[in-house]
Chain A
């Protein structure tokens, strides 16, 4: 009996992460939050609501909202990771985080910010805006869309769980072998990494397919390719990159798992394995990945800059061409992440030049945005402020990128803080600023009320000042020789002043985030309702319908005759001409809700958890669950229904519209 208790004790201390007060704090916080959520749901009798309206929904607008909520939570977690690192580096010889803990924190910071913050925020905006811009009822495959979200969600939960159970991964955000092999990382952290990303990656791949089909096949009548809104074009180019890049990630992670689980020799140091092959493979996904997240941001800036300059976007055709060429060229630059591998001068030369070439279409866009603003009637709303701030930020980020692309010089910059400053500048300055702009821009369409502009402007300025204070010193300290992933440094390095400044900037950005939280809370309390459906006076079809959009989006399918069709329609009405005729109301065909995406994703979670711990007795039931849910869906022929005309008329009347 005593031995059994001891066994259980040692199992528990291995299974749960112990010994660190920060993690005990997190344990308490997680337990309290879970209890609070369960209590609130039960007390207000909201379980049925949660199930009917959210867990089983296949409505693209709700899926989008869930993506965005999850992404903001992940932004908080990734941000806390960042501030922990900045605290550790604020002074030489700090003892806030132990070196092993620091390794975990920079690993999870990178993974969460790219895969569980940027990606879902992007997918959320895809879901909110694309079907509405196209004049469509939903995405092409609403069921699959819901499945994509839940797979992402379960993958993210699995990854985050490693924090308190089993231990976090600590081999960097791309988990290079041999460190990530069993020999270097015998714990379960790397397996959490593999399965968390693998499961959410399958979801991302399906979203890519879904939106390509939606954009190619479901445009409203009359919406020829030259009339497709620019954000939708950016989504198409991003999705093309997704379907080509994500299968490579799937294979790479699967091979790493085979190495770890079955003792294969793909990337090991012995048995003929080749660890540099992993680095090549992961960057064949990883480099397109950064374009995958930045292209939609370019699309958002293009929409915002045209809407708030009250002008048609300058250079629409060149913008489309630039985005598509970026999504293709993205595949020919991956090796610039490791010029130091030693592939020889000719290989490095090829990738150096391809990297410089890809800067050209980006430069074209910058001029297009500037010319759109030129002589426009600019209104400085929050979406526009983020767009204007993005331009100089991205120019500096792009220029330092071109510096890094010079292969011989890269031998100096490689893995230094110069690189860290560069990619944060393009990823925060490009991606995060872009998604903030998009979030502010489409917020009224999502929820039917506007966000408070005054607090939003405070958040904007604090964020931006914080950004430059945080990252400009990092360029300098990088040139001074400070390398990345360093958990501590001594006084005689001379790096203190720059690091301390950088930490101040980091915390300023944290305060900026708190202002955004306050902005949302304040706006919910003092709700400023959008009754027009077009609060910004914008240009594309999503603004022609009420806010928030009704379940079926468009009561009657719009007939598109122009680029910026809604703007042209408003101009026609202003000029005293007749608005376009609307077709007669007809019953609208809609997909039925389904619990299967949620259940199947839970099964994936179970599979992932079982394989992380190499416990087949957990993984196999999970696999059986997946098979059963697949069959259940395949055998279900009752997947759709019609919304009757009366109901449509009623909904439209409630929104103050006559049909």
Chain B
């Protein structure tokens, strides 16, 4: 199978007359990431425009609890590191190491999402909902969109682990691991901005 993919579109041409379908897909994914980046930029811009419009409700200082967010941040940063270790294990040809580090990555990702959901539920319980003010609408939407991305990433990597156990490390699964890893690092980078713009600037 891997062999077939290697020859995929081999006769399409290109500068060297040889095309690698997997490279094509990676390139496509980078372009997708540009669009995702613009999606987040739009949400950030929206948040920055309305984050002071609290409509008589609480502002960022009153509701954010930094210690929990810092823990979340470290968990996500660590998961980015472990997803890097997974790629290194793959490059070294160790399927065990690859799958092991991917599992660690999704467990860390799941605890990040768990903490975020807990934070959201606590806010909602205290009566601070998406409905309360423009500030909270922007907050829940921006942070929630990031959380949704992480959750999708978890499902995606889980599906990938099953495929790895079925097919082993092939050209196709290699490309998939690379792409999920790029995606995961990207979400990490976005979180740095969420942490800075929403939380740090919020409590300062």
Q: Which residues of A contact B (CB under 8 A)?
A: 135-137, 140-141, 205, 208-210, 212-213, 216-223, 243-244, 246-248, 250-252, 254-255, 258-259, 262-266, 268, 270-274, 277, 281, 556-558, 586, 588-589, 627, 631, 634-635, 637, 640
Contacts and interface: CB of A to CB of B under 8 A. Distances in A.
With most chain A CB atoms within 10 A of its CB, the pick from B1, B5, B12, B31 is B12
Secondary structure at chain B's binding surface: helix, strand, loop or mixed?
A: helix
Given A221-B15, A557-B12, A262 B130 contact: yes
B50 A209 contact: no
A265 B131 contact: yes
Contacts of B132: 271
B134 A274 contact: yes
Contacts of B25: 141
B39 A217 contact: no
A625 to B, nearest CB: 15
Contacts of A222: 13
A150 to B, nearest CB: 19
B12 A266 contact: no
A259 to B, nearest CB: 8
Nearest to A265: B134
A258 B35 contact: no
Nearest to B141: A258
Contact of B27 (A217, A221, A255): A217
B41 to A, nearest CB: 8
A213 B130 contact: no
B163 A255 contact: no
B133 A265 contact: yes
A248 B55 contact: no
B35 A246 contact: yes
Given A213-B28, A266-B137, A586 B11 contact: yes
Contacts of B11: 137, 556-557, 586, 588-589
Nearest to A248: B42
A277 B46 contact: yes
Given A243-B31, A272-B53, A258 B130 contact: yes
A141 B131 contact: no
B97 to A, nearest CB: 23
Given A244-B35, A273-B134, A640-B5, 13 more contacts: A141-B25, A213-B27, A219-B14, A220-B12, A254-B141, A266-B141, A271-B131, A272-B50, A274-B134, A556-B11, A557-B17, A589-B8, A634-B163
Nearest to A635: B163
With most chain B CB atoms within 10 A of its CB, the pick from A136, A266, A557 is A266
B159 A631 contact: yes
Contacts of B131: 262-265, 271
18 contacts: A136-B12, A136-B13, A140-B28, A205-B35, A218-B19, A218-B24, A247-B35, A250-B39, A254-B141, A255-B141, A264-B140, A265-B137, A266-B46, A272-B135, A273-B137, A557-B11, A557-B17, A637-B1
B43 interface: yes
Q: Give the top 5 A-B pairs by smallest Cβ distance, nearest first.
A: A272-B53, A272-B134, A264-B137, A221-B13, A247-B39
B95 interface: no
Interface residues of B, number: 50
A219 B13 contact: yes
Given A217-B19, A266-B134, A589 B28 contact: no
Nearest to A284: B42
B36 interface: yes
Nearest to B43: A251
A255 B44 CA distance: 13
Contact of B24 (A213, A556, A588, A627): A213
A277 B42 CA distance: 11
B39 to A, nearest CB: 4
Contacts of A140: 24, 28
Contacts of B27: 213, 216-217
B4 to A, nearest CB: 7
B69 interface: no
A634 B158 CA distance: 12
Interface in B50-67: 50, 53-55
A263 B135 contact: no
A426 B137 CA distance: 39
Contacts of A208: 35
B26 to A, nearest CB: 10
B38 interface: yes
Nearest to A213: B28
A274 B49 contact: yes
A136 B9 CA distance: 9
Contacts of B130: 258, 262-264
A220 B13 contact: yes
B53 A274 contact: yes
Nearest to B45: A281
A158 B132 CA distance: 32
Nearest to A273: B134
A283 to B, nearest CB: 13
Contact of A271 (B5, B134, B167): B134
Contacts of B134: 265-266, 268, 271-274
Contacts of B167: 637
Given A209-B28, A247-B38, A265-B133, A634 B159 contact: yes
A219 B12 CA distance: 8
With most chain B CB atoms within 10 A of its CB, the pick from A135, A221, A277 is A221
A634 B160 CA distance: 9
A318 B130 CA distance: 50
Contacts of B12: 136-137, 218, 220, 557
Contacts of B204: none
Given A262-B130, A264-B130, A243 B49 contact: no
Nearest to A243: B35
Contacts of B159: 631, 634-635
